[in-house]
């Protein structure tokens, strides 16, 4: 860190390494219903074991419980786990998908507008949806992000720093790659 807590910037023209700033997922409150289903299924299996009506057998109970847990607990968990958002010093990367991965990138140096959308429940939990629009590509939608105000601020800062560095590097003093030869004669001599 330099004076006043500002990060050190590399020398003009020097390569800047890409560093990961944050990796995010949607808020985990989406997993509340699957957790309740898992608890209810476990309680139901414990309660009905050896207490099933006559045509049903005990082996049917864990089979039905496994199907319910697979459909209502495991698949929603894997869907939640498979969507990540990574913010680096150069870009934002959105990845989703379990078997086939869909990846979207948006560079900070190109610039983009940040829109924030929050519903009443999202305000209660401090979450929200960020929509990043650069005017050329399809908008990148970051759904149900926790600590949305902090993420919004980080994205705005990254865009600003990237554009400053890109502008500085584009206006750097050119270097001479060939021998300039002898200097021109001075006037009046």
Question: Residue for token digits 């786990």?
Answer: 81
CATH architecture of 18-170: Roll (2.30)
Residue 1, pLDDT > 60, answer no
Question: For residues 29 and 144, what is the distance between their CA atoms, to the nearest angstrom?
Answer: 10
- Identify the pLDDT of residue 145: 93
Q: How far apart are CA 40 and CA 81, in angstroms?
A: 22
Burial-class residue 103 by CB neighbours within 10 Å (0-12, 13-18, 19+).
exposed
Per-residue pLDDT, 148: 93
Instruction: Give the CB-side neighbour count of residue 26, counting CA atoms within 13 A.
Output: 20
Q: Lay out the sheet containing 84-88: strands in order across.
A: 20-24, 84-88, 91-96, 102-107
User: pLDDT per residue over 157-176, tens digit each?
Assistant: 999 888 887 777 776 555 55
In this predicted model, what pLDDT tens digit does every residue of 17-41 receive, in sequence order? Answer: 888 999 999 998 889 999 999 999 9
The mean-pLDDT minimum among 41-55, 90-104, 119-133 falls in 41-55
């Amino acid at each position: 860190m330099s004076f006043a807590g500002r990060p050190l910037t590399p020398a003009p023209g020097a390569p800047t390494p890409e560093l990961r700033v944050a990796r995010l997922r949607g808020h985990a409150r989406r997993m509340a219903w699957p957790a309740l289903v898992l608890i209810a299924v476990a309680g139901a299996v414990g309660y009905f074991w050896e207490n099933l009506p006559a045509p049903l057998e005990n082996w049917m109970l864990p089979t039905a419980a496994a199907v319910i847990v697979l459909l209502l607990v495991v698949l929603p968990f894997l869907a939640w786990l498979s969507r990540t958002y990574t913010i680096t010093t150069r870009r934002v990367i959105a990845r989703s998908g379990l078997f086939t991965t869909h990846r979207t990138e948006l560079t900070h140096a190109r610039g983009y507008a940040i829109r924030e959308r929050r519903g009443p429940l999202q305000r209660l939990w401090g979450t929200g949806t960020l929509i990043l629009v650069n005017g050329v590509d399809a908008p990148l939608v970051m759904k149900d992000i926790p600590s949305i105000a902090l993420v919004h601020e980080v994205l705005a800062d990254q865009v600003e720093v990237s554009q400053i560095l890109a502008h500085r590097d584009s206006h750097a003093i050119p270097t001479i790659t060939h021998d300039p030869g002898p200097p021109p004669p001075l006037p009046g001599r």
